[in-house]
A and B are shown apart, each in its own frame.
Chain A
Amino acid sequence: MTDSKYFTTTKKGEIFELKAELNSDKKEKKKEAVKKVIASMTVGKDVSALFPDVVNCMQTDNLELKKLVYLYLMNYAKSQPDMAIMAVNTFVKDCEDPNPLIRALAVRTMGCIRVDKITEYLCEPLRKCLKDEDPYVRKTAAVCVAKLHDINAQLVEDQGFLDTLKDLISDSNPMVVANAVAALSEIAESHPSSNLLDLNPQSINKLLTALNECTEWGQIFILDCLADYAPKDDREAQSICERVTPRLSHANSAVVLSAVKVLMKFMEMLSKDLDYYSTLLKKLAPPLVTLLSAEPELQYVALRNINLIVQKRPEILKHEMKVFFVKYNDPIYVKLEKLDIMIRLASQANIAQVLAELKEYATEVDVDFVRKAVRAIGRCAIKVEQSAERCVSTLLDLIQTKVSYVVQEAVVVIKDIFRKYPNKYESVIATLCENLDSLDEPEARAAMTWIVGEYAERIDNADELLEGFLEGFHDESTQVQLQLLTAIVKLFLKKPTETQGLVQQVLSLATQDSDNPDLRDRGYIYWRLLSTDPVAAKEVVLAEKPLISEETDLIEPTLLDELICYIGTLASVYHKPPSAFVEGGRGVVLKSLPPRTASSESTESPETTPAGVPTGEQPDAIPAQGDLLGDLLNLDLGPPASGPPLPASSVQMAAVDLLGGGLDSLIGGPNFAAPPAAAAPANVGAAMGSGLSDLFDLTSGVGTLSGSYVAPKAVWLPAMKAKGLEISGTFTRQVGSISMDLQLTNKALQVMTDFAIQFNRNSFGLAPAAPLQIHAPLSPNQTVEISLPLSTVGSVMKMEPLNNLQVAVKNNIDVFYFSTLYPLHILFVEDGKMDRQMFLATWKDIPSENEAQFQIRDCPLSADAASGRLQSSNIFTVARRNVEGQDMLYQSLKLTNGIWVLAELRVQPGNPSFTLSLKCRAPEVSRHVYQAYETILKN
């Protein structure tokens, strides 16, 4: 008799019938009925009405029936919490059963019943099972702790289960160890600071021993946990690596990838001169190649990870190009990924082979794949200079095919090749122009327009071509419009006599007929430039452009380092940090590679976060990469091109009204926006710097007595990101004036002059109140300290986070960008004390949903001391009350832009935790005010 019949009963009155069967005396009939119930449940029918009847069947010695009832319970207990209590007794009884299989079954199922009321009954049986004589029960109980923690974390802590779980790491049975590790790792993710796993050389040794003995899954848990450990020196790292390496031969790909993760991470600590280092590199290649013979889904996971590994350590797979050649029957997602890796591995040694392959791919039928192959040829040309000529001729061959999407892709990549090798392959322009009509995609049209504009002097009919484009100006996409505007201005500057009409036409189209602010802004800039100073216009528009490099498609290094810590996981497949896709902040602890230890320092990667930094605060402090890039494009800044240094105030005035899109137009157009290689790493440095400065704010430093608390200076712009200029600084507020204290150090070999500073619009209108006064040139290795007075009357734009400040500093060498977070208390004004009556009225007036509550922990001050300290930073105590032994301080403060913040600070004598309630009409500042409180009170 098979079970499929249970799926087919769909008669009317079914529930009623089932009810009768469930209450039948005959065991067989009961079991049949329960099976039917489960089948209905599986296909999504609601059979919760049968709850009491099914639970009645629980008291049985038939294990199969018992399991089915348990299954039902797990599904419906949540919807019927009161009735679920009925089952508790049986569970408790089963946990005492002489049969370990039944004890384990009971404890496993209880954990799956996610009902709060049941959890308290679960504690005693669970405690017993964690110490059960049978390993099978213990390993099940270990997982159950994680289940319970998911339902009620507090309960697990209060009951001391975490300690018991920690003890299980030393269990004699490998599977118990593995499950305990898995459970602890998961719990630790929701308590980033708790140091739950408490890994030390002894416990690591135990884990490594268990690693050899446990199941494949257990090995994965242990390896993933090992990867989070920070060895104390390179010798410990090496010894762990030695014991993990054998896992590379495991048949289970996940074990292999997790082992690769541990090795990639700990390798970071090993000196490159070590013999062992090169042995390890050699050992890593074969298992990675073997992963490619797995099933396609796993192959994809492996390829995404290899993509990261190749970027981090290209030497590992540099001889393995051939294994990434695409097979006819690979699924498309595998093909595309292989192609990407092929380009990353391309070098002078193998370029001939790669090109032959790519040319073949470009004649396949799958459109996406063909496009990517064509693009890949262009990337090869940019990456391997010696191959550029062959790449260009290959592309020309492909253009001859006249297949529309091939031609368009080819045009786009040829534009990139021009930007890498200017004035070298212009002979192909004629061929490109022949294919003008077949271009219908915006990217290709924009690329072609750029080419025509850039080489206008060599194309006889450039004006005709551009005029042709201009006819349908309003139907073009923005990127083509922008490009067309720039191209025509270029043309005009090169051939002014014949093209005056054309340039007039495009300027009026851009400024008068367009709704697009970017286009309009750029139009105005050109217009004013051309009308006021054509010579300057020429210098700006036809300025020499920086060459592009192949690095633009690499993953940004800090992200790459973070992703290396997530090898094998979803993050490594998405190439995104977990915080980007995991909801609710679980598991978003920022991971970082270990720094090199003292013995091997000085070689590289000073930019990695020190492992000891408490990472909990970090995500807040670092603005998202994307935002930063986007915002920087709007950064108001005067022309960085040479010329006399402008007085800062005039730069500022000009900046406010029209330099909206100034920066990118100077560099050429939207395709090349975000001045590629130079700008991107600079942002990273800035983000890093600001993260650090924020941390310093919270942890250390001495305050000045006469004014608000001042954090020690932190490095905002490291020298390596700014061609030798290092900037560190802090903010101060003294007697009503805010200033930015800067320390500039010249770490380059040349003299620096012509300093100027600009802020991007920000939330509180902070702006320099005077130009940056550095009169003498800054010679190499010289440091200058300067205090820049700030005003709060600049233009305002809301930033994310609110206290983010983006700064551009220019000198004779270049323009550098960084961003930093300023502590909010520099904005607290001196007249921030509110009248008592007013306070009361305002407090009532502000709706309660605007109230935010925070805890300030570990602050050993008395109420008086706290009040005094806050007062010196312009937080004023309006009233004070003592309620049941607690001191309640009512405080007010005012921000420079007139926003009032009201606070209630609850201080309990003997308790170092303060409770802070904030009310404000602009609730988004509350969090920052709270941070200011913390900073002030703890320093």
Chain B
Amino acid sequence: MIGGLFIYNHKGEVLISRVYRDDIGFFHVKRSNIWLAAVTKQNVNAAMVFEFLYKMCDVMAAYFGKISEENIKNNFVLIYELLDEILDFGYPQNSETGALKTFITQQGIKSQHQTKEEQSQITSQVTGQIGWRREGIKYRRNELFLDVLESVNLLMSPQGQVLSAHVSGRVVMKSYLSGMPECKFGMNDKIVIEKQGKGTADETSKSGKQSIAIDDCTFHQCVRLSKFDSERSISFIPPDGEFELMRYRTTKDIILPFRVIPLVREVGRTKLEVKVVIKSNFKPSLLAQKIEVRIPTPLNTSGVQVICMKGKAKYKASENAIVWEIKRMAGMKESQISAEIELLPTNDKKKWARPPISMNFEVPFAPSGLKVRYLKVFEPKLNYSDHDVIRWVRYIGRSGI
């Protein structure tokens, strides 16, 4: 198991150290300027150690925001307290922020004032089956938000051939629901729809065409996995507030929202002409936002002239790239940029890595075609259900990574 845990700043000074055993051997992850390192000399479960370090980052971020040297120093007492709770003798314990926040607070613990019931509620929650949610949550208005966030990943050969494309999607839920609500989430999963299709032929004809094939998905720990395995239904009691309900990956029939067509011409040894065309490839009624195209330039660039039809473009010498930004762009449109890059003559043999052109965007639909079909809510004790809950669903498609 984990023998000890350290947090270092970029100079290698120790900010936090907690030693459980006398061990050596390092695992580390980096967040901005901060290194989190776990040490061991046993044959530990390496995947678990890394997962734990990420989780630890999440927990810290949930408590005091950005993980920076300053924040860590400001909260070191809190961090020790958290560590004490989430890692015992190197064994990760309950690390759900929802549960932790019930008894580890930034104002110090007021345990002395807790009643006996409150205490046992805390302990049963921390150790219980539903460790991610506490009892007795009340909202005047029951409300939930579903965000379907997708990122499109595309690998292209230099010849413009698509080598592989996949969408990695996340369904993020923000729940503000009272009591212990039972939820059931449904989407246009091909397997489910085909299964139902056997019973009711009508539905197949209506929605069968739009169903999507999901290659694989993973769920937040609140989802009953055995039920998903047997019935492929997604049922759960959600944590309070924001959490990631599921992650999924699809590779079939992906709508690529844009096409990028680059054209590079070398004029002599000191000049480069670049032309890039982007075409939007979705319904004209929809608007893509925050479009940014990044065209890398050689290291020996001395000057750049750019002309673009739409948006703003700038050469950023420090980043070795031309950055072209477009605020909005409707579907089925086309736009282009051309640039002349002056190069300094060099005899530097070091080759330019020729990084690819990259593009960022946000579109208001799910490129995989995923649709939320329903989210049923039922709370047996407080007895409110579906129609008492206000639901919001949003789709966002983004560029990958």
Chain A residues within CB distance 8 Å of chain B:
2-4, 6-7, 35, 38-39, 42-44, 61-64, 67-68, 71, 75, 98-102, 104-105, 108, 111-112, 134-137, 139-140, 143-144, 146-147, 150, 173-176, 179, 182, 186, 212-217, 220-221, 224, 243, 245-247, 249-254, 256-258, 286-287, 289-290, 293, 295, 297-298, 301-302, 322-323, 325, 327-329, 353, 356-357, 360, 364-365, 566, 568-573, 578, 581-583, 586-587
Contact B112 A570, beta carbon cutoff 8 Å: no
Stretch at the interface among B210-218, B255-263, B269-277: B210-218
Contact B74 A4, beta carbon cutoff 8 Å: yes
Contact A99 B119, beta carbon cutoff 8 Å: yes
Chain B neighbourhood of A104, CB < 8 A: 123
Question: In the docked arrangement, what's the CA distance between A174 and B37, Å?
Answer: 29
Question: In the docked arrangement, what's the CA distance between A258 and B48, Å?
Answer: 9
Contact A100 B119, beta carbon cutoff 8 Å: yes
Q: Take A182-B91, A213-B129, A246-B226 as given contacts and tell me if A220 and B48 are in contact as well, using a CB distance cutoff of 8 Å.
A: yes
Sampled A-B contacts (17; CB under 8 Å)? A3-B76, A42-B15, A43-B13, A64-B81, A101-B111, A135-B123, A139-B127, A173-B127, A175-B94, A221-B91, A251-B246, A254-B47, A254-B51, A257-B47, A297-B27, A566-B43, A586-B42
Chain A neighbourhood of B124, CB < 8 A: 135-136
Contact B218 A582, beta carbon cutoff 8 Å: no
B158 at the interface (CB under 8 A from A): yes
Chain B neighbourhood of A322, CB < 8 A: 163-164
B33 at the interface (CB under 8 A from A): no
Q: Could you say which interface size class chain B belongs to?
A: 35 or more
Contact B356 A328, beta carbon cutoff 8 Å: yes
The residue from B14, B216, B226 contacting A289, defined by CB atoms under 8 A apart: B216
Chain B 92-113 against A: per-residue CB contact (8 Å), 1 yes, 0 no? 1111100000010000110110
Contact A3 B74, beta carbon cutoff 8 Å: yes
Smallest CB gap from A251: residue in B: B218
Contact A295 B29, beta carbon cutoff 8 Å: yes
Question: In the docked arrangement, what's the CA distance between A140 and B123, Å?
Answer: 11
10 closest pairs, A vs B, by CB? A286-B216, A136-B123, A578-B43, A4-B73, A254-B47, A246-B229, A254-B48, A246-B225, A217-B92, A2-B74
Chain A's nearest CB lies how many Å from the CB of B354? 8
Contact B120 A251, beta carbon cutoff 8 Å: no
Contact B123 A143, beta carbon cutoff 8 Å: no
Contact A150 B21, beta carbon cutoff 8 Å: yes
Contact B111 A7, beta carbon cutoff 8 Å: no
Chain A neighbourhood of B220, CB < 8 A: 251
Chain B's nearest CB lies how many Å from the CB of A305? 8
Contact A71 B80, beta carbon cutoff 8 Å: yes
The residue from A101, A112, A216, A217 contacting B89, defined by CB atoms under 8 A apart: A112
Chain B neighbourhood of A250, CB < 8 A: 218-219, 221, 225
Q: Give chain A's interface secondary structure class.
A: helix
Chain B 36-50 against A: per-residue CB contact (8 Å), 1 yes, 0 no? 000011111111101
Smallest CB gap from B73: residue in A: A4
Question: In the docked arrangement, what's the CA distance between A99 and B123, Å?
Answer: 10
Chain B neighbourhood of A298, CB < 8 A: 47, 50-51, 54
Smallest CB gap from A210: residue in B: B129
Smallest CB gap from B52: residue in A: A217
The residue from A108, A186, A325 contacting B163, defined by CB atoms under 8 A apart: A325
Contact B229 A293, beta carbon cutoff 8 Å: no
Chain A's nearest CB lies how many Å from the CB of B211? 18
The residue from B129, B221, B249 contacting A252, defined by CB atoms under 8 A apart: B221
Chain B 64-79 against A: per-residue CB contact (8 Å), 1 yes, 0 no? 0000001001111100
Chain B 209-240 against A: per-residue CB contact (8 Å), 1 yes, 0 no? 00000011111110011101100000000000
- The total number of A-B Cβ pairs within 8 Å is 251
B88 at the interface (CB under 8 A from A): yes
Chain A neighbourhood of B371, CB < 8 A: none
15 further A-B pairs in the complex, CB-CB below 8 A; given A302-B47, A573-B46: A101-B103, A101-B123, A135-B127, A136-B124, A174-B129, A175-B93, A179-B91, A212-B224, A286-B216, A286-B249, A293-B168, A293-B249, A328-B355, A568-B48, A581-B43
Q: Give chain B's interface secondary structure class.
A: mixed
Contact B89 A136, beta carbon cutoff 8 Å: no
Contact B127 A4, beta carbon cutoff 8 Å: no
Chain B residues within CB distance 8 Å of chain A:
1, 13-17, 19-21, 25, 27, 29, 40-48, 50-52, 54, 70, 73-77, 80-81, 84, 88-89, 91-96, 103, 108-109, 111-112, 114, 116, 119-120, 122-124, 126-129, 131, 155, 157-158, 163-164, 166, 168, 215-221, 224-226, 228-229, 244, 246-247, 249, 350-353, 355-356, 401
Q: Take A250-B225, A289-B215 as given contacts and tell me if A35 and B77 are in contact as well, using a CB distance cutoff of 8 Å.
A: yes
Question: In the docked arrangement, what's the CA distance between A173 and B29, Å?
Answer: 33
Chain B's nearest CB lies how many Å from the CB of A250? 6
Question: In the docked arrangement, what's the CA distance between A7 and B15, Å?
Answer: 9
The residue from B42, B89, B228 contacting A582, defined by CB atoms under 8 A apart: B42
Question: In the docked arrangement, what's the CA distance between A329 and B246, Å?
Answer: 26
Chain A neighbourhood of B225, CB < 8 A: 212, 246-247, 249-250
Chain A's nearest CB lies how many Å from the CB of B32? 14
Contact A289 B249, beta carbon cutoff 8 Å: yes
Chain A neighbourhood of B1, CB < 8 A: 182, 186
Q: Take A289-B249, A293-B168, A568-B46 as given contacts and tell me if A253 and B51 are in contact as well, using a CB distance cutoff of 8 Å.
A: yes
Question: In the docked arrangement, what's the CA distance between A794 and B249, Å?
Answer: 67
Q: Take A3-B75, A44-B14, A100-B120 as given contacts and tell me if A286 and B29 are in contact as well, using a CB distance cutoff of 8 Å.
A: no
Chain B's nearest CB lies how many Å from the CB of A478? 32
Smallest CB gap from A67: residue in B: B81
Contact B219 A587, beta carbon cutoff 8 Å: no
Chain A neighbourhood of B70, CB < 8 A: 4
Chain B's nearest CB lies how many Å from the CB of A435? 18
Chain B's nearest CB lies how many Å from the CB of A77? 12
Chain A's nearest CB lies how many Å from the CB of B96? 8
Residue among A63, A139, A286, A570 with most chain B CB within 10 A:
A570
Q: Take A111-B89, A298-B47 as given contacts and tell me if A215 and B119 are in contact as well, using a CB distance cutoff of 8 Å.
A: no
Q: Take A43-B14, A101-B119 as given contacts and tell me if A301 and B249 are in contact as well, using a CB distance cutoff of 8 Å.
A: no
Contact A251 B221, beta carbon cutoff 8 Å: yes
Chain B neighbourhood of A61, CB < 8 A: 112
Contact B29 A297, beta carbon cutoff 8 Å: yes
Chain B's nearest CB lies how many Å from the CB of A78? 10
Chain A's nearest CB lies how many Å from the CB of B125? 9
Smallest CB gap from B227: residue in A: A246
Question: In the docked arrangement, what's the CA distance between A120 and B12, Å?
Answer: 39
Smallest CB gap from A305: residue in B: B47
Contact A63 B89, beta carbon cutoff 8 Å: no
Question: In the docked arrangement, what's the CA distance between A111 and B88, Å?
Answer: 10
Chain A's nearest CB lies how many Å from the CB of B105? 10
Contact B50 A224, beta carbon cutoff 8 Å: no
Residue among A98, A111, A250 with most chain B CB within 10 A:
A250
Question: In the docked arrangement, what's the CA distance between A221 and B1, Å?
Answer: 10
The residue from B43, B92, B229 contacting A569, defined by CB atoms under 8 A apart: B43
Contact A63 B109, beta carbon cutoff 8 Å: yes
Question: In the docked arrangement, what's the CA distance between A39 and B120, Å?
Answer: 32
Q: Take A135-B123, A215-B131 as given contacts and tell me if A583 and B41 are in contact as well, using a CB distance cutoff of 8 Å.
A: yes
Contact A252 B215, beta carbon cutoff 8 Å: no
Contact B123 A212, beta carbon cutoff 8 Å: no
Residue among B51, B75, B124 with most chain A CB within 10 A:
B51
Contact B95 A217, beta carbon cutoff 8 Å: yes
Chain A's nearest CB lies how many Å from the CB of B239? 13
Chain B's nearest CB lies how many Å from the CB of A333? 13
The residue from A2, A67, A258, A329 contacting B401, defined by CB atoms under 8 A apart: A329
